Chain A
Amino acid sequence: MKKEKAKQKRKFLTMEKRRVVEAYMFISPWIIGTAVFFVNAIISSIKLSFSDIVQLKGFVMEYVGLANYEHIFMFDINFMPTFIEVVVDTLINTPLTLVFSLIIAMLINRKAPGRGFFRTTFFLPVLLGSGYVMEQLLQIDATGAVGVGITLPAMFQGILGNTFAPLIQAVLDRITVILWRSGVQIILFLAGLQGISSSLYEAAKCDGATQWEVFWKITLPMISPIILLNFVYTMVTYFAAADNALVKYIIKSVFTDKQFARGAAMGWVYFAFAFVMCGVVFVAAAGLSKKEER
């Protein structure tokens, strides 16, 4: 009986509709997850940012309008400086990370002896994690400055003098941080480079293209989707890093100072900015690809 019913039911569904049902079956766990862990949390977080907690037990909330946001921008003397600092840092670090990881990926994409060793080396930061371990290794202090990356040897410090030595040290520190954050990006770029079919390169070679031209005309356009993915990924990891000064500040205000609503508001200001940034990147990417098509 049951089987017959099922068969009858199936007859009513066209092939196309059945495919749609199947599709939703595959992504149903994710849809449930989105509803429970994502949309729900986002809505309550937005609500929280517009209210004040009257009673901690049972989280009784009261709508206060924009008071929390007002507080952040008008009264909180720590928020804006930290926010600007983090934003500037991210804007500097993201493109640099992309460039460095692309260069490294192209270097280890060559079939040269010893590349197995180098691949493992460049993946080391991912293995060692981003948390306490990395902080310990790079001795990153609360301000995000690196204490013990590669220090300039004393000899060079003497030669460069007091004006240039700290400058070069700062550059070295930044490069250390950037390289240590680019493990996943290198992997993704490597995957992309491997995916470019060698016949394209052969064709270019036959037509007498130089290495430089090959890079701009073949390699870069072919991996442009990965550049976009990496851009977003890099920005998000910088924004969401646990050792990010602003994230630390938010967590402190939520979990230590118990300013839940203000924390949520700060989180949303922060997220709104990250969202706008990613939106700009996406629009720019779409614009670029349209130009190419023309």
Chain B
Amino acid sequence: MNASTKKKGLCLCSIMFPKRVDRLVATTKLKKFIVTFAYYLVLCSLAFVFVYPFLKMLVTSVMSDSDLVNITVTWLPSEIVWENYKVAFKQLGYKSYFINSLQITLIGTLGHLLSCSLAGYGFARYKFKLNGVLFAVVVLSMLVPVQTLIFPLYIQYSKMGLIKVLKGYVPILLPCFFGYGLNGAFFIFLFRQFFSGLPKEMEEAARIDGCGALMTFFRIMLPMSKASILVSTVLSVVWHWNDYFEPNIYITNGGDQVLPSRLPALYKLLNMEETMDLVEEMGGFLFNNGMLMAGTFLVVLPILIIYAFLQKQFMEGVERSGLTGM
């Protein structure tokens, strides 16, 4: 029985047997309550899987050494210790590496936004012979893992004399301005979907009034596509910030590295130096976990802060990106 027939039944019943209706209303209320309860139960248990490692990281990062070794302490540390953060901050060299990461993230994101929105617009709005074929190439380039092409690309860059130029950031950032780089094809796809969902009247009016193609794009279309720009920006920033594969290969000078690739160094450092004897004594790895978790949290902290501010707009942007209109 579905909702509408049930309602009809209720109306009929209320005329004929007023007492029975009360009971019926009570059961539907109960049913509703059970459905809501089940809904939140499922949501919460799913959310638990996501939150669990994150909470574990937070808790571990403020634990004192004795708590970390103590097996009985799993969730509530006996005291909150900030020492881990201080040490991790210092060992990571947070300030200078933060600036490195920031440079790569900002420039890379800018490149993605520019090149991918242009290409996406071209694919969405213009009919030309090779449109289908070229767009298939976009999808294909999404399929090829970076790892397969990294070596030929490395040779190519070294032939072009781009290796070790500008701290070695050029090979990482240059492709971003040409629709490649980290998931570039994905952004082209996103922009194409979004632009093909926009109404054509605005640009046609602009073109009739004598506005050039590029001018129309920058003055009319881009301001209208704030939603997809925001979505692409957030994703591009996050991916650039967290990426360590390309930086590990192209950035040879340790001082120019990005933040995430400092983490294993931190791990090794802690394992090798002062703690080594103790680790052996404890017979485990648990000992420096607190500091490592503090370091990990510090690395992702900027991203979390940015997302906290943009969360609402980001979700609205996702909802308006019009992905179903394919």
- Are A278 and B53 CB-contacts (below 8 A) given A30-B119, A133-B299? no
Distance between Cα atoms of A65 and B71 in the complex (Å): 58
Tell me if A23 and B128 are in contact (CB < 8 A). Answer: yes
The contact of A127 among B51, B300, B319, by CB within 8 Å, is B300
Is B75 in contact with chain A by the CB < 8 A criterion? no
Instruction: Enumerate chain B residues within 8 angstroms of A125, measured Cβ to Cβ.
Output: 50
How many interface residues does B have (CB within 8 Å)? Answer: 97
How many residues belonging to A are interface residues under a CB distance threshold of 8 Å? 97
Q: How far is the CB of B52 from chain A (nearest CB, A)?
A: 6
Once the chains bind, are B147 and A41 in contact (CB under 8 Å)? no
Q: For the complex, would chain A's binding face be called helix, strand, loop or mixed by DSSP majority?
A: helix
Segment of A42-50, A66-74, A91-99 engaged in the interface with chain B = A42-50
Pair B143/A236 contact, Cβ less than 8 Å = yes
A108-129 Cβ-contact flags toward B at 8 Å (1 or 0): 1010101010111111111111
Q: How far is the CA of A278 from the CA of B145 in the complex (A)?
A: 13
Known: A118-B47, A119-B315, A137-B296. A195 touches B325 (CB 8 A): yes
CB distance from A117 to the nearest CB of B (A): 8
Are the CB atoms of B115 and A30 closer together than 8 Å? yes
Q: Which residue of A lies closest to B262 (CB)?
A: A132
Distance A60 CA – B40 CA, assembled complex (angstroms)? 63
Kindly list chain B residues whose C-beta atoms are within 8 Å of the C-beta of A119: 311, 315
Decide if B325 touches A137 in the complex (CB within 8 Å).
no
Contacts of B178 in A (CB 8 A): 29-30, 32-34, 36-37
- Do A26 and B151 contact each other (CB < 8 Å), given the known contacts A107-B42, A126-B238, A239-B145? no
Decide if A127 touches B238 in the complex (CB within 8 Å): yes
- In the bound complex, how far is the Cα of B40 from the Cα of A125, in angstroms? 21
Contact between B299 and A222, CB atoms less than 8 A apart: no
Chain B residue nearest in CB terms to A172: B49
Q: Are B144 and A271 in touch, CB under 8 angstroms?
A: yes
Least CB distance from B258 to A in Å reads: 10
Contact B126 A19 (CB under 8 A): yes
Minimum C-beta distance from A99 to chain B (A): 13
Interface of B is mostly: helix
Give a binary string over A252-294; 1 marks a CB under 8 Å from any B CB, 0 the rest. Answer: 0011000010011001101100110010000000000000000
A223 to B326, CA, bound (A): 10
A79 located at the interface, meaning its Cβ lies under 8 Å from any Cβ of chain B in the complex: no
Question: B25 to nearest A CB, angstroms?
Answer: 21
Is A164 among interface residues, defined by CB-CB distance under 8 A?
no
Residue B304 at the chain A interface, CB threshold 8 Å: yes
Rounded to whole Å, the gap between the CB of A156 and the closest CB of chain B is 15
**At the interface, yes or no: A158 with Cβ under 8 Å from chain B?**
no
Q: Chain A residues with Cβ under 8 A from B138's Cβ?
A: 30
Q: Say whether, besides A148-B53, A229-B189, A242-B245, A192 and B324 are in contact (CB < 8 Å).
A: yes
| Residue in B closest to A36 when the chains form the complex, CB atoms | B178
Q: List the one stretch of B15-23, B76-84, B152-160, B275-283 in contact with chain A.
A: B152-160
Residues on B with C-beta less than 8 A from A124 are: 50-51, 54
Residues of B within 8 A of A122 (CB): 46-47, 50
Cβ of A169 within 8 Å of any chain B Cβ, yes or no, is no
Indicate with 1 or 0, residue by residue over B228-243, a CB within 8 angstroms of chain A CB atoms: 0000000100110111
Seen from chain A, the residues whose Cβ lies within 8 Å of a Cβ on chain B are 19-20, 22-27, 29-34, 36-38, 40-42, 44-45, 48, 59, 104, 107-108, 110, 112, 114, 116, 118-133, 136-138, 148-150, 175-176, 179-180, 184, 187-188, 190-192, 194-196, 205-206, 208-210, 222-223, 225-226, 229, 232-233, 236, 239-240, 242, 247, 250-251, 254-255, 260, 263-264, 267-268, 270-271, 274-275, 278
New A-B pairs, 11, CB < 8 Å, besides A24-B128, A132-B296: A26-B213, A30-B119, A33-B115, A107-B42, A116-B315, A127-B300, A180-B50, A188-B323, A226-B324, A229-B323, A264-B151
A-B contact pairs, 8 of them (CB 8 A): A25-B122, A30-B188, A33-B184, A129-B260, A138-B53, A195-B323, A263-B151, A264-B151
